[in-house]
Structure 1
Amino acid sequence: MTKTPMEERSFHFISGLPRSGSTLLSAILRQNPRFHAGITSPVSEIFVALLEAMSDRREASVFLDDEARQRVLRGMMINYYATREAQVIFDTSRLWCSKMPALATLFPRAKLIACVRDTSWIVDSIERLVRRNAFRPSGIFNFQGSGTVYSRATALASSDGLVGFAYDALREAFFGDHAQRMLLVQYDTLASNPQKVLEAVYDFIGEPWFEHDFGNVAFEEGEAFDERLGTPGLHRVGRQVRAEPRTTILPQDLFRRFEGDAFWRQPGQDMRGVRIV
Structure 2
Amino acid sequence: MPVAPSVHFISGLPRAGSTLLAALLSQNQAITAHGRTSPVAPMMIRLSSMMAEGEHATDFTDGQREALLRGVLETYYGPERGGIVLDTSREWCTRLALIERLYPAAKVICCVRDPVWIVDSLERLIVRDPILSSRLVPIGQRGTQHDRLEYLLSREGVFGYAWRVLTEAFHGPFAHRLVLVDYQKLATDPLSVLASLTRCLGLPPCAYDPMNVVNPDAASFDRALGTPGLHTVRPVVTLQSRNCILPPDVISRLQGGMFWRKPQATGQGARIIA
Pairwise CA RMSD:
1.6
1:59 is matched with which residue? 55
Moved more, 162-171 or 184-193: 162-171
CA–CA distance in 1 between the matches of 2:216 and 2:141? 27
Give 1:130's aligned amino acid: I
Partner AA of 1:208 in structure 2? P
Can you list the C-alpha shifts for 1:136-169, whole angstroms capped at 9, x where unaligned?
A: 4111113457432211111111122211111111
The aligned counterpart of 1:238 is 234
TM normalised by structure 1 equals: 0.93
Contact 2:112/2:180 (<8 A) preserved: yes
Q: Please give the alpha-carbon distance, in whole angstroms, between the structure 2 residues aligned to 1:163 and 1:16.
A: 10
Give, in whole Å, the separation in 2 of the partners of 1:111 and 1:151: 36
Q: For residue 182 of structure 1, what is the aligned residue in structure 2?
A: 178
Tell whether 2:68 aligns with 1:72.
yes
Q: Distance in 2 between matches of 1:145 and 1:259?
A: 24
Instruction: Give 1:200's aligned amino acid.
Output: S
Shift in alpha-carbon separation, 1:151–1:84, aligned structure 2, 3 A: farther
Aligned residue for 1:5?
2
Aligned length: 272
| Residue pair 1:103, 1:110 contacting (<8 A) in 2 also | yes
The answer to whether the aligner puts 1:98 opposite 2:91 as a matched pair is no
Residue equivalent to 1:88: 84
- Measure the CA separation in 2 of the matches of 1:144 and 1:230: 15
- Paired position in structure 1 for 2:163: 167
Judged with a 3 Å threshold, the aligned counterparts in structure 2 of structure 1 residues 80 and 157 are, in CA distance, closer, same or farther, namely same
Between 1:170-179 and 1:232-241, the stretch displaced more is 170-179
Q: Which amino acid aligns with 1:194?
A: P
Of the three residues 223, 227, 231, the one matched with 2:223 is 227
Displacement of 1:194 after TM fit? 0.3
Q: Which amino acid aligns with 2:223?
A: E
Q: Which residue of 2 aligns with 1:24?
A: 20
Residue 153 of structure 1 aligns with an amino acid whose one-letter code is: L
Distance 1:241 1:186 in 2: 14
- The 2-side partners of 1:203 and 1:81 are apart by 24
1:142-221 aligned within 5 A: 142-144=138-140, 146-221=142-217
Deviation of residue 83 (structure 1)?
6.2
Return the offset for 1:84: 5.8
Give TM-score, length-normalised by structure 2: 0.94
Structure 1 residue 87 displacement after superposition: 0.6
Whole-angstrom distance in 2 between the partners of 1:74 and 1:260: 39
Shifted more, 80-89 versus 28-37: the winner is 80-89
Q: Contact 1:124 / 1:248 at 8 angstroms: preserved in 2? A: yes
Contact 1:219 1:237 (8 Å CA) reproduced:
yes
Q: How far off its partner does 1:86 sit?
A: 5.1
Q: Secondary structure at 2:264's aligned position in 1?
A: coil
**Which residue identity lines up with residue 55 of structure 1 in the other structure?**
A
For 1:84 and 1:124, locate their aligned partners in 2 and report how far apart those are by CA, in whole Å: 41
